[in-house]
Amino acid sequence: MSTILELRDVWKAYEEVQALRGLNLEVNKAEIFGLVGPNGAGKTTALKIIVGLLKVDKGVIRVDKYDIEEEPYEYKKLIGYVPEAVSLPEYLNLEEFLIYSGKIRGVSNEQIKKRMDFYLRTLDLEVKRRTLILLLSRGMKQKAAMASALMHDPDLLIMDEPLIGIDPAGQHRIKEMFNERIESGKTVFLSTHMLDTAERMCDRVAVIHKGKNVAFGDLESLQRLSETGEDATLEEVFLKLTEEAEEKVPELSSEGLPERRRHGIFRFFRRT
Amino acid sequence: MSIFFDLYKFKIKSFLGGFRASRVNLILVALYLLSTLGGTIGISMAVVDSVKGGTDLTVHIDAFSVVINGFLALILVSTFRGIVVFEYEQGFIFTSSLTPRLYLMASLLTDLTVFSIFFCPALVPLAIVSTSLMLSAMTILSLIAFLILFAFFLIFLKNSFSILQSVSKGQLTRITAIFLIFWLLLPAVGLMVPLPLKVSELPYPSTFLAQALLLALYGRIPPAHSFLAMACYFLASFVLFMLCSVKNIFQFAKPVPLVSPFDTSMRMQTVKMYGNIRLFSRVGMGITLDLRSESLLRFLMRKEFIRMIRDGSLFTVLLFYLIVSIMSVVSRIGEVPFPVWLFVLGIYSFIVPAMLISNWRVSELDNLWIPFSSAVDLGFIVKSLLYDLTLTAFVVPAATILILTFVSQIDPLLPLVLIASVSLIGCSTSLFAMVHFLGKRRRAVPSLMIGWASMLLFSLLVFPTYAYVTLSLLWRLRIEINLLLAIPILAYSALVFKFFSKRAQEKAASIEI
């Protein structure tokens, strides 16, 4: 099975926090892959690095054949992204927003129209087509962001906590949509701390803790690794693995933090 | 009574909470003063020059009354929302044993305090006019009394109609308000088509105020019957308010998030921006973003233009240049030798780029993940934004100047060079400063701080342009020399534009959000 996403020894530090410490991942084509971990494990940071919102300090990330550092724009044609806290241009209506999303992703006008109609219908947003985004509910905004991420029919859909704020009927439709995508050879990569969601939806998961890999594989292999037994749920496996990791991983230190950058007026004029 | 004052103090503290949160918010006050004082000083200078020049401004009572009537009509339109309260009030105050009347009285006093704060720049023209024209103490006092009666009349009227709109189930209140609005705006027709009656002959509150203000310019005290009529309006609005305040408004009030006008925090600016979008999207839905634009640059520019319409940025720009136009017309009527309006144009064209960029940041900062996670070059996004802002900052004042060329017979060369240069330099430096502060670590910096920083940089770079305009006015340079000097000024501005545009595009590629 070929790989669509690969992270090798990825490090990322913020000013006071070492968010990722040598993260490794491999996501295959045509699978739903889940990234699970407790709060502050580095899930969102990892996702933001993959989609180009953050720069990596060290390590290699490949999306299909592209190294994202070397080709920072080309690989984005292959990905669609839905962040956890969705913020959308509130001054546009839903239709305008989807047109905007399609246009900046280089989709042809015919395809924009076709896909917009399809996703508005599928995600039950048709009646809100000309409603200002400002007036949509949180769940509707989440669905709108999802439709936006799918406008260019990406090979790899990356989602941070995809089902939060969406009603059960909407969740059901989204799961169906994911399965259809997998059947057509596309990949879904999601991060979540809702373990029942991960258990029901994902083919494989990676458990991360304090920016490091803890375990990797399908539920069966994780059950074996954690020695929790065949009937153990992902939640039980997760708790066992993260407890063990807690004992192994030392407390976060300032080691590896980037040098504090200079502030002030001189930096203002410095060439980037 | 102590509950009343406690509530009043609490409301004022909440309303002005921005200052308590951060001293940085004082910048907003400075910006407000800079933008309003520019206009008010300009207007008062024009008025003083007109009066000294022997022009009889009292012949314009009709026109002045129409303007005040327009303001009154706007106040009535604002009451269509009904009684609006802050969410915290509904949650904590309305659930206490406080009576609606006590709450309304505290709200009224708060409104009056806020009204006084916002209108304090109006004291500057009053001071300029009264000292320049050496008005007597009696004249000034009578004028102040008139203004106070009018302010109370406005506040009582606004609150009464808001209560009636909320409480009444039928359409009667709305129909009455619409009728009053129509009645208030009717005299405006008289400015274009002769009507059998003049506004100055009708007993509108605006007529009495216009009379009082214009007569005061010539040291005359308004007649006693004007005072009496104004006092009657005040009393009628007070009685109406007292009757309305017995209603239990707690069940009908519409909750909105707390908005403190002097809070520059990103959260508060966003709340205010959402309010603007709700308001302006009603008029701005005619222009839509569709699939017609073939080029991505044109499409992105159209999107930014739509944002400027719907978040009210364009409205503010239009308002700024409407003031400039009014001043130009006033200068012409008064045959003022000094082009006051050009002075105000200089101030506004200085503020507009920073204001436009600041509004973009408030609207778009949290949405940047959309272009950042797409394959589009970020420099391209920055470029389209810059072109759009520069066009807006140039086209609106340029259109104003061209209209004024015909209406007021002004010489358009100097103002056109001024706004072309200021738009090019202002927009590029402001955008560069904003992109610099887009990064993750600088996101918390309030937009106004960025606006201030960019205006400092901008003021250094735009100095040659202002020097050129000032010297040209002082030395009364001939048009040929003006034209000759304009070429290097515009070339210099284009160079600055190119430099900062390139730097902003480079910087955009390296930011993290």
Task: Kindly tell me if the per-residue pLDDT of B447 is higher than 50.
Answer: yes
Q: Which of A108-122, A147-161, B264-278, B473-487 has the lowest mean pLDDT?
A: B264-278
What does the block give as tokens for B175? Answer: 């129909």
* Closest-CA distance of chain B to residue A242, Å: 29
At B20 the pLDDT is 66
Task: Kindly tell me if the per-residue pLDDT of A151 is higher than 90.
Answer: yes
What does the block give as tokens for B78? Answer: 């604002």
Closest C-alpha among B359, B166, B189 to residue B273: B359
- Using a CB-CB distance cutoff of 8 angstroms, which residues of chain B are in contact with residue A52? 372-373
- Using a CB-CB distance cutoff of 8 angstroms, which residues of chain A are in contact with residue B436? 268
At B186 the pLDDT is 80
Residue of B nearest to A55 (CA): B512
At A269 the pLDDT is 39
* Closest-CA distance of chain A to residue B206, Å: 37
- Using a CB-CB distance cutoff of 8 angstroms, which residues of chain B are in contact with residue A272? 506-507, 509-510
For strand B254-256 and strand A79-82, is the pairing parallel, antiparallel, or unpaired?
Answer: unpaired
Higher-confidence residue: A200 or A77?
A77
What does the block give as tokens for A266? Answer: 């001189």
Higher-confidence residue: A106 or B511?
A106
Q: pLDDT per residue over B7-63, tens digit each? A: 888 888 877 766 666 666 677 677 677 777 777 787 788 788 878 777 777 777 877
Given CA atoms B371, B377, B381, B384 in this order, what sign does their dihedral have?
A: negative
- Give the C-alpha separation, A156 to A80, whole Å: 6
Degrees to nearest 5, angle at CA B328 with B322 and B333: 125
Closest C-alpha among A174, A176, A100 to residue A143: A174
At B331 the pLDDT is 67
Q: pLDDT per residue over B50-94, tens digit each? A: 787 777 777 778 778 888 888 888 888 888 878 888 777 877 788
Residues 6+ apart with CB under 8 A from B216: B135, B139, B140, B142, B143, B222
At B363 the pLDDT is 87
Say whether A89 and B364 touch across the interface (CB within 8 A).
yes
Q: pLDDT per residue over A113-122, tens digit each? A: 999 999 999 9
Domain residue ranges of chain B, discontinuous segments joined by +: 2-12+55-254, 266-508
What b-and-e string marks burial along B16-39, b requiring 16 or more CB atoms within 10 Å of the CB? bebbeeeebbebbeebeeebbebb
Report residue B168's pLDDT band, with 50, 70 and 90 as the boundaries: confident
Tell me how far CA of residue B394 lies from CA of B35, B299, B421, in angstroms. 18, 20, 9
Report residue B444's pLDDT band, with 50, 70 and 90 as the boundaries: low
Contact B435, B368 (CB under 8 A): no
What is the percentage of chain B residues whose pLDDT exceeds 70? 89
- Give the C-alpha separation, A11 to A212, whole Å: 9
Rounded mean pLDDT of chain A? 84
Higher-confidence residue: B429 or B127?
B429
* Overall pTM > 0.90: no
Say whether A103 and B509 touch across the interface (CB within 8 A).
no
Q: pLDDT per residue over B376-407, tens digit each? A: 888 888 999 999 999 999 999 999 888 888 87
- Give the C-alpha separation, B438 to B445, whole Å: 9
Contact A165, A142 (CB under 8 A): yes
Q: DSSP per residue over B300-352, as a string? A: HHHHHHHHHHHTSHHHHHHHHHHHHHHHHHHHHHTT-SS-HHHHHHHHHHHHH
A74 touches chain B (CB under 8 A): yes
Q: pLDDT per residue over B297-324, tens digit each? A: 889 999 999 999 998 899 989 988 887 8
Q: Could you tell me where the DSSP H helices lie in A73-191?
A: 94-104, 109-122, 138-150, 168-183
At A14 the pLDDT is 83
Burial of B479 (0-12, 13-18, 19+ CB in 10 A): exposed
Task: Kindly tell me if the per-residue pLDDT of B154 is higher than 60.
Answer: yes
Rounded mean pLDDT of chain B? 82
Report residue B212's pLDDT band, with 50, 70 and 90 as the boundaries: confident
Contact A175, A201 (CB under 8 A): yes
Task: Kindly tell me if the per-residue pLDDT of B273 is higher than 50.
Answer: yes
**How far is C-alpha B164 from the chain's CA centre?**
28
At A261 the pLDDT is 40
Task: Kindly tell me if the per-residue pLDDT of A272 is higher than 60.
Answer: no
- Give the C-alpha separation, A118 to A104, whole Å: 19
Query: Domains in chain A and their CATH numbers?
Result: 3-84+154-259 (3.40.50.300)
Tell me how far CA of residue B2 lies from CA of B5, B7, B9, B112, in angstroms. 5, 8, 10, 19
